[in-house]
Amino acid sequence: MKVEENQAASAQTTDSSSVANLRVPLGTRPLRLLQRYAPPLVLMLSLFIAWQVGTWLTQVPKWLLPSPWQIIVAGVEASDLLGPHTWQTLKETWLGLGLSLVVGLALALVMDFSALLRRTLYPLLVASQTVPILALAPLLIIWFGYGILPKVIVVALVCFFPIVVSTADGLRVADPDLVALLRAMGANRRQIFFKVRLPGAVPSFFSGLKIAITYSVVGAVIGEWVGASRGLGIFMIRSSKNFLTDRVFAAIAVTSILSIIMFVAVVILERCLLPWYYAHREDVWEEV
């Protein structure tokens, strides 16, 4: 029964299914994953190997440019130090992200609610992003002290903008025909918001969140540079002043790895929450 329907349905849309059929059938899932992730991994690995070989050949001193292996060794040796610093940076990042989510989503909703507020707030939001964070960070320390708050604010300042803009745009681009259809069905404004515009804005929100996540850890590090007693940023400054270049690189590596892990976590969350967004015909109609 099911098979008959499959055939009937694929006969109805010959174009899209024939495109799917043209793809080389790879069969198993592990093979498909390998096909997707192997190229970037190979590229990364070759770059590191080139770097390693380059430092061997040129015999460049360690304080000028350490090799990848030296960076790993330095990172492991300093792990007792790196651990607490990393934890501090992570705390700042998460608090800042949380703050930016609350403020960003609230602003997006407010701007969606009233066109007047949208016109009033938008220029201000853009202006907030033109302020050089490096110049602002010392002021934040003057105002809020050496505690965690100024760093959290820097992270939030960096992160809230993509969240506001993407969410507000996502709410705005709801298909007008769909909104009209719901109105014709007798839906009120609240129903249209919760049934159409809000769920439709979620993919766009995630796009903004992915941008925000990639900036967030760097934001915390910048906040620490200006003045802190703990954190990856201050660890970098201290190491750099002592010409411990390998440690600077180790801290940079930790920063990147944290950012990547958080990014991947958001991507996985998105995949779980938005199965429909990734649903396509060719994924469902498999050839037998």
Partner 1 sequence: MSSYPDSVSEIELSNVHKAFRLDGRLVTALGGVNLTARSGEFVVLIGPSGCGKSTLLNIICGLMEPDSGEVLLDGRPVQNRTGLLGYMLQKDLLLPWRKVLDNVILGPEISGLDRKAARQEAERLMPHFGLEGFEHSYPATLSGGMRQRTALLRTFLCRRNAMLLDEPFGALDALTRRGLQEWLLDVWSQFRQTILFVTHDVDEAVYLADRVYVMTSRPGRIKLELNVPLPRPRSRDMITSTGFADLKKQLLVSLETE
**Among the residues of 114-244, which ranges form H helices?**
115-130, 133-144, 149-172, 176-184, 189-192, 198-226, 232-241
Q: What does the binding site for partner 1 look like in residue numbers (CB under 8 A)?
A: 1-2, 5, 9-10, 12-13, 16, 175, 177-178, 180-187, 191, 195-196, 199-200, 202, 274-277, 279-281, 283-285
CB of 187 to partner 1, least distance (A): 5
Decide whether 56 or 278 has the Cβ nearer to partner 1.
278
CB of 14 to partner 1, least distance (A): 8
Residue 57 burial by Cβ neighbours in a 10 Å radius (0-12, 13-18, 19+): exposed
CB of 181 to partner 1, least distance (A): 5
Dist. CA 164–CA 172, nearest whole Å: 12
CB of 284 to partner 1, least distance (A): 4
- What b/e readout covers 248-264, taking b as 16+ CB neighbours within 10 angstroms? bbbbebbbeebbeebbe
Amino acid at 38: A
Decide whether 57 or 279 has the Cβ nearer to partner 1.
279
Decide whether 51 or 285 has the Cβ nearer to partner 1.
285
CB of 277 to partner 1, least distance (A): 8
The sign of the dihedral angle between the CA atoms of 28, 32, 37, 39 is: positive
Task: Please give the structure tokens belonging to residue 134.
Answer: 């490096």
Decide whether 15 or 80 has the Cβ nearer to partner 1.
15
Decide whether 133 or 179 has the Cβ nearer to partner 1.
179
